Structure 1
Amino acid sequence: MSSIYPRRLQALRQLVLKFGIDDRPTLNWDCLDIALTHPTASAERNYEQLEFIGDAAIRLAAAEFLWETYPEVKVGDYAAVRSVLVSDRVLADIAETYGLDRYLVMAGSAAADKSGYRSRLADALEAVSAALYLSTHTTELIRPWLDSHFKPLAEKVLRDPARHNYKAALQEWTQGHHRLLPEYRVEEVQREHNSDDRFCARVWLKDQCLGRGTGRSIKAAEQAAAREAFFALSRGNVEVSGTAETS
């Protein structure tokens, strides 16, 4: 069947059962083993290439799910919802529900790096999705378990007037009310214990700071700052001074 040690193969089978997937002969166990091997454990046989394929596979699964579940939704909203479903934050959350970290083989130094914990989870989930996709070259081994996570989150995003894209929503608000674009100022910060947040962003309109947020990437930090500002403005919790309202 494969060159995987029996104990490792047994662990991988347990994971597959958690996904609710049958132990079928089409499943590529070697590929799944590689998908759960961190680069610190093997320079040649690790999940980096599979991660690339898995990113596309998850995006395809999300697109299929949205098209089948919400046929009446506009294409622009499909894109907005999918961007949330396939985000690293969501993938890390999904990976945690399956205890994916317990199946990930890595060097002790990487395991001790708590700041990169959620990044590893998201990467590993993408790689696992790639292994399952390459086993059949369809999403049939991905959709059964991913859909259950996508459904409640998609509903939440569709109920959100900003569609979780707070930068776009804030820009629309500031242009509509003040004919100005918000300005983002980002700085790299020292990570707190057990935090992946590397950047801190503040969003300004003219000389007024409207919101602050942190994130693993500059984009994530800016989104967090925009979210705080958007809700503060839309709820009337903050007033913008020094700019004239348009009629």
Structure 2
Amino acid sequence: MRASIGLAGLLVALTACGGTVGTAAPPSGTPAPTPRATTAAPSPSPSPVVTGPNVSGCFTEEDGRIFTHGDDLPGVVTGKGDAGVVITYERNGNVCTWRPLSDRLVAAGYRVLLYARDSRTPPEDVAVAMAERLAKEKGVKRLFFVGGSIGATTAPLAAARLGGRTAGVVALSGAIDPGDAARITVPLLQIGTENDGYGGAADLRAAHDAATKAADNELFVVKGESAHASAMFRAPYGPQVLDRILAFMNRHRQTDKE
């Protein structure tokens, strides 16, 4: 199923109200007004420094259980529920920009794993390792792979390696190879913007057309836009992107046998 939205235009009108300012000198004998003292605006308070266990400074032990993997890289498992979600961010990204999605999923009863990674290497292997870690959490039955950019491109490969416990794949701004897409059997949701240079409309359509074996094959393209991966969450259409992801995952979090 392919859905698309268009933003005809977003106009923000900034209006200012003011009067005329006279420049003539005051009449003779009229004392000049005494200049009014000005008070400097207070400096903004610095952001609190996170000193305890954390992931990129935006997930702490208040959010969930912090762990380490690989070369002492941090990760977090947050939320509860029997449906797990592994989020793999885009190259040169971090977990912080995925917080809008993570918070939305946790509120909906998902258990979410986010992790820092070495962006110089393809994330397929580590995504599988993270899924296996999350699958060992008590009560977790099935898992979704969610990725942005290169994390989205390799998500179907990681999902295939996990096997029958995979509930689905959500790929934001991915460029899934049509050959890989042709082997996808789990539900697939692709989301991106029309003019994105990587994972734009052409890349998404090629994978969509090839994924004929996918149990569900959904495509959502934001026309006229170019935001990449998690940057879509901060765009005016961000709520629609989050809604689409949650609706897709809610449909597929359980099998017909459950």
TM-score category, normalised to shorter length: under 0.3
Larger radius of gyration between Structure 1 and Structure 2 = 2
Q: Of Structure 1 and Structure 2, which has the larger fraction of its residues in strand?
A: 2
Q: Report which of the two has the higher share of helix.
A: 1
